[in-house]
Structure 1
Amino acid sequence: MNKYPAIHKAALQLKGATHDYKEEWTADRYFVGEKIFAMLGTNKEGRDILTVKVEPSQGEILRTENPAIIPGYHMNKSHWVSVLLDEEKNEEFLAKLLAHGYEQVLRKLPKYRQREIETM
């Protein structure tokens, strides 16, 4: 079972969100409309991280304000952030960050897909 049940639950509470586990990456991946909005795994040092899609200016602000937030690990650094979970434990903050990532991906989907997801 996932060692971060609150993160898992918060991600899957978002309308139309789905989850899989990618063995090769040892990562839990969260999707909306077949596109990833968040990933839970580890970095090369073995630290647990939550990587989330962000609006670029928001990512910059988050990295400036919170030392637990670093540029997205193995992702586009301006569109993704990674949260060091041993430093940031605020579940409410993490749930809001997941919702932000979800919205970033949802609004880029074709309008018909957005409508399908909104009416689920």
Structure 2
Amino acid sequence: MELSELKVWCEGHKGAQFDYQKDWDAERYLIGGKMFAMFGHDKTGTPIVSLKCDPQRAGVLREEYEEINPGYYMNKTHWNSLALNGNLPSALIKECITLSYELVFKGLTKKVQHEVVKG
């Protein structure tokens, strides 16, 4: 799956906002001011997307796929970094993006959630 397709998938989530973090050379997608996806590169230059994940599921995914690792420069318990080298199924990456969005959305205040839903 092309990187541009994944970014369109992120943008398709209600209330998603894009920003660029110059210091990290990373493109981020936020909901209610909180990040749910960050596109960048690991120390070897491999493109990655870092996504929030339930800690139990994060561990299972890391065991199942060598392309999924603890969040690069993120909280290693709650974030995974997925290598975008063409080896992971597109459906899995999209599912992880949506789950990240949902986890971050659930962590927003009720007021902010309402504002996002209202659009």
Residue correspondences, number: 118
Distance in structure 2 (CA, Å) of the matches to 1:48 and 1:27: 10
Q: What TM-score comes out, normalization by structure 2 length?
A: 0.93
Q: Which position in structure 2 is the counterpart of 1:60?
A: 59
Task: Say whether 1:6 aligns with 2:1.
Answer: no
Show CA shifts across 1:8-64 (max 9, x none).
Answer: 001010000011111221111110000011100001111111100111111111111
Deviation of the 1:89 alpha carbon? 4.4
Amino acid at match of 1:92: A
Q: What TM-score comes out, normalization by structure 1 length?
A: 0.92
Q: Is the 8 A contact 1:68 1:87 kept in 2?
A: no
Task: Say whether 1:116 aligns with 2:115.
Answer: yes
Q: Is the 8 A contact 1:6 1:91 kept in 2?
A: no
Distance in structure 2 (CA, Å) of the matches to 1:60 and 1:87: 21
Gaps (5+ residues) in structure 1? none
Deviation of the 1:92 alpha carbon? 2.1
CA RMSD in angstroms comes to 1.2
Gaps (5+ residues) in structure 2? none
Show CA shifts across 1:58-105 (max 9, x none).
Answer: 111111111110010001101000011115343222111110000110
Q: Which position in structure 2 is the counterpart of 1:43?
A: 42
Q: Which position in structure 2 is the counterpart of 1:24?
A: 23
Amino acid at match of 1:24: D
Q: Which position in structure 2 is the counterpart of 1:83?
A: 82
Bigger Cα displacement from structure 2, 91-100 vs 66-75: 91-100
Aligned sequence identity (%): 35
Q: Secondary structure at the match of 1:82?
A: strand
